[in-house]
Amino acid sequence: MVKPVMLRWLRTLIPAIALVWMSSGVHAADDFAPLRARMIKDIAELTAETVAATGRPAIDARVLAAMDQVPRHQFVPPGEERNAYENRPLPIGYGQTISQPYIVALMTDLMMIKPTDVVLEVGTGSGYQAAILSTLARAVYTIEIIEPLGNAAQERLRRLAYKRVETRVGDGYYGWEAHAPYDAIIVTAAASHIPPPLVRQLKPGGRIVIPVGAQFLTQYLLLITKANDGTVSTRQILPVSFVPLAGH
Q: pLDDT tens digits, residue range 17-51?
A: 333 333 333 334 468 999 999 999 999 999 999 99
Active site residue 99: yes
Residue 145: the pLDDT is 97
Q: What is the mean pLDDT of residues 81-87?
A: 95
- The end-to-end CA distance of the chain, in Å, is 70
The CA distances from residue 46 to 40, 49, 54, 103, 176, in Å, are 10, 5, 11, 10, 33
- In a domain? residue 22: no
Prediction pTM value: 0.86
Mean pLDDT over residues 147-166, rounded? 97
Per-residue pLDDT at 89: 95
Cα separation, 213 vs 220, whole angstroms: 7
Could you tell me the residue range of the domain that residue 64 belongs to? 29-240
Q: Tell me, yes or no, whether 55 lies in a domain.
A: yes
How many angstroms separate the most distant Cα atoms in the chain? 76
Structure confidence at residue 246 (pLDDT)? 86
Residue 122 lies in a domain: yes
Contact 50, 57 (CB under 8 A): no
Phi, psi torsion values for 75, nearest 5 degrees: -110, 15
Which domain CATH number covers 80?
3.40.50.150
Range 134-142 average pLDDT: 98
CB 127 within 8 A of CB 149: no
Average pLDDT estimate for 97-103:
97
The answer to whether residue 3 is domain-embedded is no
User: Could you tell me how many residues make up the chain?
Assistant: 248
Q: Is residue 10 part of a domain?
A: no
Q: Which entry of 99, 192, 233, 241 is annotated as an active-site residue?
A: 99
155, part of any domain: yes
Q: Is the pLDDT of residue 80 over 50?
A: yes
Asked whether residue 13 is assigned to any structural domain, the reply reads no
> For the chain, what is the domain count?
1
Higher-scoring residue by pLDDT: 4, 37: 37
Residue 212 falls within a domain, yes or no? yes
The angle subtended at Cα 150 by Cα 148 and Cα 156, nearest 5°, is: 100
In this prediction, residue 124 carries a pLDDT of: 98
